[in-house]
Amino acid sequence: MLFSGRLLALLASLVVAGADAATTVVLPGSMCPGGDRVFADGFDAPSAIPHDPSNGSGGAAPGDYLRSISVPGIGTRSYYVHVPVAYDGSSAWPLLVALHGSAGSAAAAPSYAAQIRADWSGIADAGGFIVLAPIATGSQGGWVVDPEQPFPNGDVAAILAEVADVESAYDIERSRVHLWGFSAGGHLAHWLALRETGLLAAYAVSAGALQPLTCTDAGPPTCASVLGGTPRKIPLDIHIGNSDPLYTYAIYDVIHDRQRFQAGGWVRNRNLYVVVFSGGHIYTVPQLDEIWDHLCPFALGP
């Protein structure tokens, strides 16, 4: 489909939102059955529930689909979407954007994105949210982004366009757009979420690292300046295996990401969840279920 004027307006609103003074709202536990840990421990007082429906319509539902859009300056991009069977367009639903890891080749990237969608689909059906799985475009099946260029660029610009397309096709609760990434997708999730902290309600990474895409301890920019300077401490879940090479490898050093976030103002088990599991460079579907429990209670407020 063509990238319409409505979609351009939606994309512009996403980019502008990142510059606004957004807040984090903790939702009532009833909105996330089984996943209301952060609400239960009294991190935030009950407040008005944000509601920002996209009022999109016309998208095929329910089921699994491959959608294509034309992005100005980039070209045609395709992505996968899962719409749960309970979706009927009568109310706005949360959205989860799921980023796959490096596929090894450009030809393999679509199958990696499709697998990510499949792994999240059962959780989406039970939790009541739509899944968007973008496809990386790098020659090695990884994500294309230049951290030194203005935001957004490369695959991130395409991802934001795909979010706008989903918002046009389905009724999305824009106060509850979440992001998750695995491996290279986790590296990118850190950069995207921390570059514009007013875009997302919350995000998560599995086997992903702050260094070197988002920041390094030596800089530039330093992790201390990036994390300490963010106007909003966006809620975050980190899952990492204790035998994952990224856990202790000096370039990535995920073992110390928890301390970096806490030094930057995040609070453990309130807006920062860190799960170190026994295993390597992997994620499991049960872990995705736990991750959703941590993401679900958060919404983006004005």
Check residue 188 and give its pLDDT: 97
Check residue 47 and give its pLDDT: 61
Check residue 48 and give its pLDDT: 81
Over residues 100-110, the mean pLDDT reads 97
**Dist. CA 231–CA 198, nearest whole Å:** 9
DSSP H or E run through 205:
strand 202-206
Check residue 41 and give its pLDDT: 42
Higher pLDDT, 151 or 96: 96
Where do the domains of the chain lie?
5-301
Pick from 167, 193, 188, 157: nearest CA to 178: 193
Higher pLDDT, 85 or 2: 85
| Residue/partner pairs of 43-46 with CB below 8 Å, 24 or more apart | 43/267, 43/270, 43/271
Contacts of 121 (CB under 8 A, 6+ apart): 64, 82, 84, 131
3-class state of residue 224 by DSSP = helix
- With bands split at pLDDT 50, 70 and 90, how would you rate the model's confidence at 40? very low
Check residue 6 and give its pLDDT: 36
Q: What is the pLDDT of residues 121-139, one digit of tens each?
A: 999 999 999 999 999 999 9
Check residue 34 and give its pLDDT: 54
Check residue 5 and give its pLDDT: 37
Q: Count H helices, E strands: the chain? A: 9, 10
Over residues 27-43, the mean pLDDT reads 60
- With bands split at pLDDT 50, 70 and 90, how would you rate the model's confidence at 21? confident
Over residues 248-255, the mean pLDDT reads 94
- With bands split at pLDDT 50, 70 and 90, how would you rate the model's confidence at 93? very high
Check residue 229 and give its pLDDT: 95
CATH of domain 5-301: 3.40.50.1820
Q: Give the rounded percent of residues in the chain with a pLDDT score beyond 70.
A: 88
Locate 22 and state its tokens. 């957004």
Q: Is this model's pTM higher than 0.85 or not? A: yes
Over residues 205-216, the mean pLDDT reads 96
Check residue 46 and give its pLDDT: 53
Check residue 189 and give its pLDDT: 98
Q: Are 115 and 125 in contact (CB under 8 A)?
A: no
Locate 115 and state its tokens. 């697998």
**Dist. CA 65–CA 59, nearest whole Å:** 10
Check residue 29 and give its pLDDT: 83
Q: Are 151 and 11 in contact (CB under 8 A)?
A: no
Task: Transcribe 127-143 into DSSP letters.
Answer: HT-EEEEE---STTS--
Over residues 65-77, the mean pLDDT reads 93
Check residue 39 and give its pLDDT: 40
Check residue 259 and give its pLDDT: 97
Check residue 266 and give its pLDDT: 98
Residue 218 pLDDT more than 80? yes
* Mean pLDDT (the chain, rounded): 90
